[in-house]
Structure 1
Amino acid sequence: MEKSFEIILPDGTVYKPEKESVVQGYDPDGKPKKMKFSMKTECQRCGECCKRDTPVILKEDIILLKKGVISEKDIYTIREGEKIRSFIDGDTYYSSMELIKLRPIFASSTCLFYDPEVGCTIYEMRPTVCREFECWSQNITITGLEERRLTRNDLFGSIDIVKEAINKHEEKCSLYKFNDIVEEFVSGKEEIFEKIVEMILFDSTIRDWAKKKLEIQDDVLPLLFGRSLMEIAPLYGVLIEKEGENFLIKVMKEAEQ
C-alpha cells in the first residue's frame, strides 16, 4: 500500500498535499531534496558592489578619460584627511590619502553608471578596481593603492595656474585644520567661529574664481577642489547655513553627546 506524504506543522496540524502535488524542497515520496551549492568564481553583474560604493580611479584608468568613457564631470576628489562615511558599516573614517572616485547618484551610494534594468552601463570598459574586485573572495583589498591611485597632480600637474589654485586651496582649507577647529567649536569655544567662516569663505571664493577666470563648469569643481566645506560639514558634527551675507553654524545633536 502506498504511504501518504504528511508534514506536521509547528502548531500540531498535519499537512497532506494532494497525491499529484509536489512540495518545494521535497521529493514526491516526501524525502527532503539534497541541497546543491555552486561556488561563484566570476562577476555575474548582480550590481551589489555598484550600489554600495563607487570605485577609486587608478592611473591605468586614464585611458577611460581619453576615450570619453568617463569625463571630468563624472569624477570627484576625496581629499587627504577628509571624513567619509562607510556605506558598508555606517561608520566614519578619515581618508589617509587623496583619492579620485566616480560620482554616486545624488543622495545615494550607488554608482553613476549603474542602471537597475541593465546593471553597469560601461561594463566592458569599467574601471580597473571594478575589474579586480572579487566579491566572492576573501581578498577584497586593492593592492598598491597608494602608488596606483590617480591624483589631481596626474591630471592638472602640467597646468601651472590650476596646480597653484589647488595647492592654495589645500593650504587655506586643509581638512586636518578644519577638523581641529570644528572640534574646538563643538566643545564650546565660540571664538573659533570666525576661523570656520574664514575657511568657508575662501573655499567658496576660489570656486567662484575658477568658474569666472578659468571657465571651469560647476560640475567639475568637485574634481578640482573636492566637495565644499559646507557640504561635508555634517560629517564633522556641524551644519553650516548661509543667510544673506551671514553664516549660521549649528552643532548637531550627535556631536553634542
Structure 2
Amino acid sequence: MQIPDTNEPGCKRCGQCCRNGGPALHTQDLPLIQDGTIPLADIVTLRAGERVFDQPAQDIRQLDREMLKIKGRDGSWTCRYLSPESNTCGVYATRPAECEALFCRDVEPLKAMYDKDRLTRADLIPEGHPLVELMAEHDRRCAPARLEELAKAAREGDREAGEALREMVAYDREVRRLVPGKTGMDPEMLDFLFGRPARVLLGGMHVRVYETGDAIRFNFQG
C-alpha cells in the first residue's frame, strides 16, 4: 500500500502492496472521510463472518467483526487509488493510516495497528438515519456465515438449503435494486451500506449465480 517518493530508501515503487488490496480504515482516518478525501462510495464493508485475505498473516481468515476497506478496481482487490500505469497513489499526501504504516520489508508497524481501532458503518452513519433499520435487517437475513452454511449444504444436495439460499440472494438483490431507486442514492454506495453482494460472496465459494428474470440458479464448481 505504501508508495513513497522516489528518494525514500527501500521502496521500489512496484505497487505490489497496493495490488494485494487497499487499506482497512481506522479511527485515525475519520477526518479523511469527513472532509471528502475518501468518499463513502469508495468504501466497501466487509461484514462479520466473511472470509477475507489477512495481509500480515498472508492467509484467508473469517472476520469476527466488520471492517471498512478501500474498494478494489477492475474486478480485483487492487486499491482503486493506485494508478497501475505509473504505480502512484492518488491520495498519497493524505493516505490512510495503514498505508503510512506498511512497508513490505518491515510489516511489524502494520501488524501492531492492523486489528485495532477499526472504523465501522456505525461510526459514519448518524444514529436514527432512515437506512439503519434496513441495514440491520439485511445483516440479519444475509449473514455471511449463514450464506456459507447454506451454500455448503446446497452443494451436498440439500434442497431446502438451496431454496433458502435462493431466497437470500433474491432478498439481497431486491434491497440493492430498491434503495437507489427510492432514494436517488448513487449505486456505488451500496457496497458501503450492505457489504458485498451475496452473489459475489458465493463466487468466492466457487458458486456461480445465474439470474434470468426472477429466476435464480446456482452452479457449484470445484
Q: TM-score, normalised by structure 1?
A: 0.75
Please state whether the residue corresponding to 2:160 is helix, strand or coil.
helix
1:81 aligns with 2:35: no
2:218 matches 1:230 = no
Distance in 2 (CA, whole Å) between partners of 1:153 and 1:241 is: 33
Gaps (5+ residues) in structure 1?
A: 1-39
Question: Which gives a bigger RCO, structure 1 or 2 (Cα 8 Å, sep 6+)?
Answer: 2
What do residues 129-160 of structure 1 show as CA deviations (whole Å, max 9, x unaligned)? 10011322151544355541110001114243
Q: Is 1:51 aligned to residue 19 of structure 2?
A: yes
How far apart in 2 are the matches of 1:236 and 1:44? 35
Query: Which protein has the larger Cα radius of gyration, Structure 1 or Structure 2?
Result: 1
For residues 107-145 of structure 1, what are the alpha-carbon distances to aligned partners after superposition, in whole Å with 9 as ceiling and x for unaligned? Answer: 223211111315112111000010011322151544355
- Report the residue type matching 1:54 in the other structure: G
Partner of residue 98 from structure 1, selected from 63, 66, 70? 66
Q: How many residues align?
A: 214
Tell me the equivalent position of 2:5: none
Task: State the match for 2:187 in structure 1.
Answer: 218
Q: Is residue 130 of structure 1 aligned with residue 103 of structure 2? A: no
The letter of the residue matching 1:135 is C
- Retained in 2: the 8 A contact 1:52–1:88? no
CA distance 1:241–1:140, change in 2 (3 Å): farther
Between the aligned partners of 1:64 and 1:111, the Cα distance in structure 2 is: 16
Deviations 1:26-71 (A, max 9, x none): xxxxxxxxxxxxxx86656442211221100112212112222221
- Which one of the candidate residues 158, 170, 193 is aligned to 2:139? 170
Choose 91-100 or 137-146, whichever is displaced more.
137-146
Please give the alpha-carbon distance, in whole angstroms, between the structure 2 residues aligned to 1:54 and 1:120. 11
| 1:24 corresponds to | none
Q: 1:229 to 1:125 in 2, by over 3 A?
A: same
User: 1:149 maps to what in 2?
Assistant: 118
d(CA) in 1 for partners of 2:158, 2:26: 41
Taking structure 2 as the reference length, the TM-score comes to: 0.86
Q: Provide the rounded CA distance (Å) in 1 between the counterparts of 2:58 and 2:152.
A: 21
Show CA shifts across 1:215-256 (max 9, x none).
22111100000111012212123111101221111111x2xx
- Decide which of 204, 208, 213 is 1:239's aligned counterpart: 208
Q: Does 1:203 align with 2:172?
A: yes
Q: Percent identity?
A: 25
Q: State the Cα distance separating 1:72 from its structure 2 match.
A: 1.2
| Aligned mate of 1:191, from 160, 166, 188 | 160
Counterpart in 2 of 1:160?
A: 129
* Compared CA separation, residues 248 and 87, structure 1 to 2 (3 A): farther
Residue 179 of structure 2 contacts residue 185 of structure 2 at CA under 8 Å; is this kept in 1? Answer: yes
Counterparts of 1:250 and 1:87, CA distance in 2 = 30
Q: Secondary structure at the match of 2:204?
A: helix
Match of 1:63 among 24, 31, 46: 31
1:88 deviates by 9.2
Contact 1:79 1:97 in 2 (8 A): yes
Residue identity in the other structure for 1:189: D
Q: 2:79 aligns with which of 88, 111, 117?
A: 111
- What SS class does the counterpart of residue 99 from structure 2 fall into? helix
Q: Distance in 1 between matches of 2:58 and 2:219?
A: 23
Does the aligned pair in 2 maintain the 1:114–1:121 contact within 8 Å? Answer: yes
